[in-house]
Amino acid sequence: MKTITKVNKDDVIIKFAGDSGDGMQLVGNQFTSNTALRGHDLATFPDFPAEIRAPLGTVAGVSGFQLHFGSSEIETPGDLCDVLVAMNAAAYKSNIKNVKPGGTIIADISGFDKKNMRLAGYQETDVLLVNSASTNFTFFQVDITKLTVESLKEVALDAKDKDRAKNMFVLGLLFWLYDRSFESTLAFIEERFSKNDMVKNANSLVLKAGYHFGETTELFTNQYELKKAVQSPGKYRGISGNEAIALGLMVASSKASLPMFYATYPITPASDILHFLAKQTKTFNVQTFQAEDEIAAICSAIGASFGGSLSACGTSGPGMALKAEALGLAVTMELPLVVCNIQRAGPSTGMPTKTEQSDLFQSLYGRNGEAPLPVIAASSPSDCFFAAFEAVRIALAFMTPVILLSDLYLANGSEPWKYPEYNALPEIKTRLLKESKEKFEPYNRNEALVRNWAIPGTEGMEHRIGGLEKKDGTGDVCYDGDNHHHMVKLRAEKVANIAETIPLQELSLGELNADVLIVGWGSTNGSIRTAVKELLLEKKSVAHIQIRYLFPFPKNLKGILEKYKTVLVPEINNGQLVKLIREKYLIDAIPYNKIQGQPLNVAELKNEILKYC
């Protein structure tokens, strides 16, 4: 019987990496749900190759899944990992630079044979897996493939299918290392393979074999333990950003008592919203429409909006570019619409599987004519729910298209979410007009300058609206210069009035009179918070705000910005919010830009902030 040392940890970052076909996403997701159920806080980020089936064993075909979990608040999936699981040489090659000094590498030595070394671009004579005494890392070399096949020698599966179960061996081993029960995964296997007993049994056997290997081998002498995170009481679930947007739109449309219409064209990384919603169409008041192109998607949404639906579209940068003209139509017709832009690296096709925040200017300015519309951003996977809910509220309250900005990092990332009860969420008011004593005029407005919404089928309110400039009130086509000037100002003022209904900007961390204020928006929230928290612990004079409402800005933003000597604006673009702030408030805000398709690196960000405090 070996002696096992229990080692306590505050947080751990594990990266599972292997070939696309190695099932690393499944291992990651299973370990994650087990971690969540155990009461740790966590954040995850999958990292897929752009190619669906890149050549086996190559760096291009590596699929990864990073999980950061711990006993205190976890804001990001983490920069460098403590543990790298490398199923082959290519996975090792593409991830080794992201392992912490002193980190642990668990390698399947079958994936480091001559052939795999060559495919990964190494010399066949290179020795990667060496004695830990001579490197910074601790290596655990396990012949996972061989052990998997051995554990299935009684099972009548062919060699290829046996080989495919090796991800369960890894999972079992990791469960042992972190002293977990594997029951949740057994239940998962039971359900997933309920139609194929042989595969079901094989996966269960291999999972247990991995666990027992950890238990018996002399290789591992440590087991790692983490305390539960202190979480506020309530019901939790795991959620990704795209799922949260889909849910937010659905629940908000229900709170507005409207049917929902989601029109879209497949595009990475937005398509998962469609996949989720398409499954709900039989049960809920949701209709999905996969259009022939991006333009048809938004145009059909505008048509549905005219007909009285809550309409929404999901897309990414290139699709947004194609939607520009129709967005202008929705602005001038003053119809409610939510367009979700799940940003990715551009320009043009750019890097479709890498994240970026470079469509802020496009959202604000990417239309012909004076076409202002509200723009809001989500700041974490679960926050996508509330951002979507708020986007719907604004669209309906102000009869306007709204752009909701998320990005690939939020879309695919996931975290535990203390989800709300349906009844705890507010009702949403619409401008639907069912009857009127006076003659209906489509462009008559309320005190906030918002028009009414009379939909076909409503007797006596027949009217025509369109893309031509319209006379204030009646909506008749009008080319008069003075009227146009008036209408341009009216539409701008209406959008500006939204600022009266949004929450004031709050400080996320730090004090009002600190030396440096870090101003972020969107998905950088986690990285910035982690960096600022660490600096605050180091007694640095730093504060943080994360702006959700990018247009119009919260009314008190200027007042906050003016309190600080230094305003630093980190963004995953070449400097966009920083320019808006400089332009609007004449404040000498300083940009900090990383445009590498990755979330902001906390250590790098900290170093940057330290220059100013």
CA distance 408 to 343: 6
Question: Considering beta carbons, is residue 247 or 519 the nearer one to another protein?
Answer: 247
Question: Considering beta carbons, is residue 323 or 529 the nearer one to another protein?
Answer: 323
The DSSP element (H or E) to which 139 belongs, if any, is strand 138-142
CA distance 270 to 90: 28
* Phi and psi at residue 221, to the nearest 5°: -120, -10
CA distance 341 to 14: 30
What is the closest distance, in whole angstroms, from the C-beta atom of residue 526 to another protein in the complex? 21
Per the listing, tokens 């970052």 go with 13
Site for another protein in 20-49 (CB under 8 A): 33, 36-37, 39
DSSP code per residue over 38-90:
TT-EEEEEEE--SSTTPPTTSGGGEEEEEEEEESS---SS-SSEEEEEESSHH
Question: Considering beta carbons, is residue 129 or 322 the nearer one to another protein?
Answer: 322
Instruction: Specify whether the CB–CB gap between 387 and 376 falls below 8 A.
Output: yes
What is the closest distance, in whole angstroms, from the C-beta atom of residue 396 to another protein in the complex? 16
The sign of the torsion formed by the CA atoms of 408, 413, 417, 422 equals positive
CA distance 117 to 126: 8
* Phi and psi at residue 99, to the nearest 5°: -100, 135
CA distance 416 to 133: 38
Question: Considering beta carbons, is residue 102 or 307 the nearer one to another protein?
Answer: 307
Choices 11-19, 63-71, 256-264, 531-539; region in contact with another protein by CB under 8 A: 256-264
CA distance 414 to 440: 48
Question: Considering beta carbons, is residue 93 or 323 the nearer one to another protein?
Answer: 323
What is the closest distance, in whole angstroms, from the C-beta atom of residue 436 to another protein in the complex? 13
What is the closest distance, in whole angstroms, from the C-beta atom of residue 239 to another protein in the complex? 7
Site for another protein in 192-251 (CB under 8 A): 231-239, 243, 247, 250-251
Site for another protein in 259-318 (CB under 8 A): 259, 261, 263, 280, 283-285, 287, 289, 291-293, 295-296, 299-309, 311
Question: Considering beta carbons, is residue 261 or 521 the nearer one to another protein?
Answer: 261
What is the closest distance, in whole angstroms, from the C-beta atom of residue 134 to another protein in the complex? 44
Q: How many residues bind another protein (CB under 8 A)?
A: 69
| Binding residue (CB under 8 A) for another protein from 9, 100, 463, 579 | 463
What is the closest distance, in whole angstroms, from the C-beta atom of residue 283 to another protein in the complex? 7
Instruction: Specify whether the CB–CB gap between 494 and 450 falls below 8 A.
Output: yes
What is the closest distance, in whole angstroms, from the C-beta atom of residue 337 to another protein in the complex? 11
DSSP 552: S
**How far is residue 10 CA from its own chain's centroid?**
25
| Binding residue (CB under 8 A) for another protein from 24, 152, 267, 329 | 329
What is the closest distance, in whole angstroms, from the C-beta atom of residue 350 to another protein in the complex? 24
Pattern 79-118, another protein, x by CB under 8 A: ----------------------------------------
The yes or no reply on residue 440 touching another protein (CB under 8 A) is: no
Question: Considering beta carbons, is residue 55 or 307 the nearer one to another protein?
Answer: 307
Pattern 409-438, another protein, x by CB under 8 A: ---------xxxxxx---------------
Question: Considering beta carbons, is residue 387 or 531 the nearer one to another protein?
Answer: 387
Residue whose C-alpha is closest to residue 286's, from 305, 258, 264: 258
Question: Considering beta carbons, is residue 259 or 350 the nearer one to another protein?
Answer: 259
| Coil vs helix vs strand at 426 | coil
> Which whole-number Å values give the CA distances from 512 to 549, 550, 560, 561, in the listed order?
20, 21, 7, 9
Residue whose C-alpha is closest to residue 291's, from 308, 274, 269: 274
* Phi and psi at residue 453, to the nearest 5°: -120, 100
What is the closest distance, in whole angstroms, from the C-beta atom of residue 318 to another protein in the complex? 16
Instruction: Specify whether the CB–CB gap between 331 and 373 falls below 8 A.
Output: yes
Question: Considering beta carbons, is residue 270 or 301 the nearer one to another protein?
Answer: 301
Site for another protein in 309-328 (CB under 8 A): 309, 311, 325-326
Pattern 473-492, another protein, x by CB under 8 A: ---xx---------------
| Binding residue (CB under 8 A) for another protein from 80, 465, 490, 595 | 465
Q: Inter-axis angle of helices 144-151 and 166-177, to 10 degrees?
A: 100
DSSP 467: S
Instruction: Specify whether the CB–CB gap between 32 and 44 falls below 8 A.
Output: yes
* Phi and psi at residue 489, to the nearest 5°: -65, -40
Q: Where does residue 274 rank: exposed (0-12), middle (13-18), buried (19+ CB within 10 A)?
A: buried
Question: Considering beta carbons, is residue 308 or 575 the nearer one to another protein?
Answer: 308
| Binding residue (CB under 8 A) for another protein from 197, 218, 447, 462 | 462
Question: Considering beta carbons, is residue 325 or 472 the nearer one to another protein?
Answer: 325
Instruction: Specify whether the CB–CB gap between 169 and 176 falls below 8 A.
Output: no
**How far is residue 77 CA from its own chain's centroid?**
12
What is the closest distance, in whole angstroms, from the C-beta atom of residue 467 to another protein in the complex? 5
What is the closest distance, in whole angstroms, from the C-beta atom of residue 367 to another protein in the complex? 12
Q: Which residues bind another protein (CB under 8 A)?
A: 33, 36-37, 39, 231-239, 243, 247, 250-251, 254, 259, 261, 263, 280, 283-285, 287, 289, 291-293, 295-296, 299-309, 311, 325-326, 329, 333, 418-423, 456-468, 476-477
